[in-house]
Structure 1
Amino acid sequence: MLYESIGEKPHEWAGKTAGEVQSIGQQDGSVLVVPVGSIEQHGNHLPVATDTILVEAIIDAALGRLDDEPVLVTPTVWSGFSPHHLGFGGTLTLEFDHMRSALEDIAHTGLQNGFDAIIFVNGHGGNIAMISTVTSTVGVDADAEVLGLTYFQLATEEIQNLRDSDTGGMAHGGEFETSLMLAVRPDLVAEDGWDATMWDEHYEWGGSDLIEGGPLSVYRPFEAYSESGAIGAPAEASAEKGDRIRDIIGTELAAIFVAIHEANRN
């Protein structure tokens, strides 16, 4: 993982031998987890790897709550679908079809090791449609259960109770992500440059921040929302809040992993 060395965690695919991977995959109710992040600008105070670092941190929190369930997590797919961020620089994005094919290939080859289920865990808003797509395109051909989710859409009522910002403050590089980064990788959070614009989507049916998505999808480059590339209220962030967010979502995600394991046992 980006924030810790490979091989230190019992659920890491990358630290196993090929035989060990297959042994876990062939256990009853085995689950393969594929994290999906991005490399894109996050304003002037957060690193471009924020989405990748945070999806790994959330998954790690979930895995730490498991008992002996046969769950393995692959290395993170670090490049997401982020064309709307290109205007600010620092972004590495794949074409939609290229990324879809890469995720399909990872899933199909991973499942060849005998896993009974696979779940894509996403950490970037621009990947949400992608995750929904590959859940179907992989699922239609796979002899396994295929699932997908975006971690910041979990436990939203509990996260709402933690926030100090108004609606729009937990957006891109705002209170939510900055709090998590302060908890997980404070060394990568700049001491200044915390300038951000509150989310302002003029369609009332559009999303209002990370945890309050709306039914209407709208495409705009990020320059239309923010001069800095950050949206929300990073000044309301804290490491303590980030630890609590990670604990809440990690607990919810662990419950999902256990439920998938139990549902796929023979």
Structure 2
Amino acid sequence: MGDLQPKALVGLNKSNYDYPLADVSHLSDEEKNALRIRGIRARNELNSDEEFEQWVAVFAPRNVLEGAILTDGTVLKPDPDSEETQEDIMSCAAYERSLWYHRKRFRAWKEKHLQPLVDDLADEARNAPQYDWQYLYGLEYKKLICMRAYFSHSLIADEDGNYGFNRWIDTCISLLKHIKDEGMHISEAQIEKMNVRNLGDIVTHGELVNFLQAPAKQEDDDIYPDKIYYGTRLYVRKMERLYYRIRLYKMREWWE
């Protein structure tokens, strides 16, 4: 099942943005309203940090003072002079500021660090042959690398780049690295420790028998295929099964 709970926006440190609102006394009521509507419609229509701060100074008080509509239709208006209302206004302003400046930093980071990974993924999709399953896994591998980079700088990531489901994406990347290369980097020690009792649903009986009866690898002979050859193939299948189980049970949590 997917994660239906709201994500904590731990990447937004509102305590850094609780400074006083910008002075907008030089703007007419018409200019304030036009600025407020333009910023609500699309933040990216605001042309500078200065204009954004003016928008916050117009938006936050209006947003808080409009009040809340209760279930019976009654509008609950806050006291504009109360300390609680002023705190709500500053909290609203701090949230909007933290979101604005996070996105500004993210755009700069994306251009330098994420975009090259995305370009590499696009090149792989455009140029990789279409006739072999390994190339599909290669695409998934590079896509997960892009996602890993994105989430580490997203709104749900803390200052260390942790976002709650690191281990699952990291595990999938590690598995795909071996799967796409058909186990090229799987060690002999890993194969020797492999549990073969739970392979019946993913390999044929003949493949399992070949592994169990194959001669062990010897340094001074050329017997091939040997136990390492068959064992590597079985090990990759076990990795594929784990990869798909993670995707089946955990992947729906991978969102911001």
Confirm or deny a common fold (TM above 0.5): no
How high is the TM-score relative to the length of structure 1?
A: 0.22
Bigger relative contact order (CA 8 A; separation at least 6): 1
Q: In proportion to residue count, which structure has more helix? A: 2
Q: Looking at CA atoms only, which structure, 1 or 2, has the larger radius of gyration?
A: 2
How high is the TM-score relative to the length of structure 2?
A: 0.23
